[in-house]
Amino acid sequence: MFEVPLAAPDYEDPWLLSFVERAQRFRADTFRVAYLDQAPNSSTFRYRCFNVANLINEHVAGVSASWFWESDGDRLYAIAKEADLVVVGRAPYTERLAQFIGLARRFGARIMFDVDDYVFDASMVPELMRTLDVPSEGVHGEKLVSWWFAYTSRLRHTAGLADEIVVTNDYLAERATEVIGKPVRVIPNFMGTDQLAYSSQLVAAREASGPKRTDEIHLGYFSGTPTHNRDFALMAGALARILEQDDRVRLRVVGFLEQGDELFEKVKDQIELIPLTNYLDLQRLIAETEVNLAPLQNNRFTNCKSELKYFDAGIVGIPTLASPTFTMSRAIEQGVNGFIVRNHEWDEYLNRIVAEYDTTGRQLGAAALAHCAATYTPMAQVAAVVAALDLPQTATIS
């Protein structure tokens, strides 16, 4: 494990500004973009609303943007009347949302619906629930089935109110075109300036110390949500075997994971469980590990997911072993900035990365850092955002 002599950051959600502050940002320029979501969070809202609005404010001249949510209530109607573009971020249908969209359209705004998962098609519910390991039997299961059918149907209805759709990758764009039948644009996920700045500090602090490592090799699994049991199971057997074979190897799990104790009973002392934390402190926890693990099942739902687990690790110089999903296969060049691992290959690649970490592993991490710094930053995505949102192309600021 790497020693990173940098304290965890003081953290407050940066988007929790007053309505007045957010409205001032919105009104700062002549062309105004309003992002509207159901509620803020550090995942979808951060990547799809907060990061993009900040990119616009920092890098696109003549355009201002801000973010709002439904709890802003009647104050939203003033925003609707002034917006040139409204981007609704993965918000299921409500009457207030429909009223906001209708008012904005009457005052001349274009309406876009931004969605980062294949969650707008009710016919996907059985596959989606299986993938996420959501129970569908019994009284509780029946309620969950009803919730998922309602949620996907409400998202589809919101999409129907928009003029165009914005998604994270070409695979999801094809699904949105098939299901919604409206023009679809692509804005990849990318990191915000705060994540980039702290990640740079982490790398500098680590490298300044040598970088120093303990004898242990930490494999990191950063689950993020309690819905990745079946993903983790793809490599669980291989992980248990390498932990048993090599007592230097440790498994660091951050977030949620529900796995039976029997498989890992012999090596439980080599497993470190850390509760879900904020996204900046997560960068520190990743930067201390040697390897990032990103297994995913192979189906329509998982192939729609973005490569954020790759670039969150790559930007602190940590290589990723990932399943061959659509975006991971395009982000990772085999043996150059990471490894793509098929289900039957986890033993092979886990053993290889542990045995060759001081040579191959470091090279992969350095290449991943260079690739992520050149690809998943606001400046790298300015052109994609301007084109996808059809913003006035007066100028971009370097």
pLDDT (tens digit, 9 = 90+) per residue, 187-199? Answer: 999 999 999 999 9
Dihedrals phi, psi of 13, to nearest 5 degrees: -55, 115
pLDDT score, position 214: 82
For residue 82, pLDDT beyond 60: yes
- The Cα 167–Cα 6 span in angstroms is 36
Please provide the average confidence, as pLDDT, over all residues in the chain: 94
Q: Is the dihedral of CA 152, 158, 163, 169 positive or negative?
A: negative
Mean pLDDT within 216-224? 90
Q: What is the pLDDT of residues 34-75, one digit of tens each?
A: 999 999 999 999 999 999 999 999 999 999 999 999 999 999
What angle do the packed helices 51-59 and 378-389 form, to 10 degrees? 90
pLDDT score, position 7: 86
Q: Are 110 and 86 in contact (CB under 8 A)?
A: yes
User: Tell me, what amino acid is at 384?
Assistant: A
pTM: 0.95
pLDDT score, position 225: 65
Q: Are 364 and 337 in contact (CB under 8 A)?
A: yes
Given strand 164-167, what is the order of strands in its sheet?
63-69, 31-37, 85-89, 110-114, 164-167, 184-186
State whether residue 87 is helix, strand or coil: strand
pLDDT score, position 395: 57
For residue 26, pLDDT beyond 80: yes
pLDDT score, position 226: 62
Domains of the chain, first to last: 19-188+378-389 (3.40.50), 193-375 (3.40.50.2000)
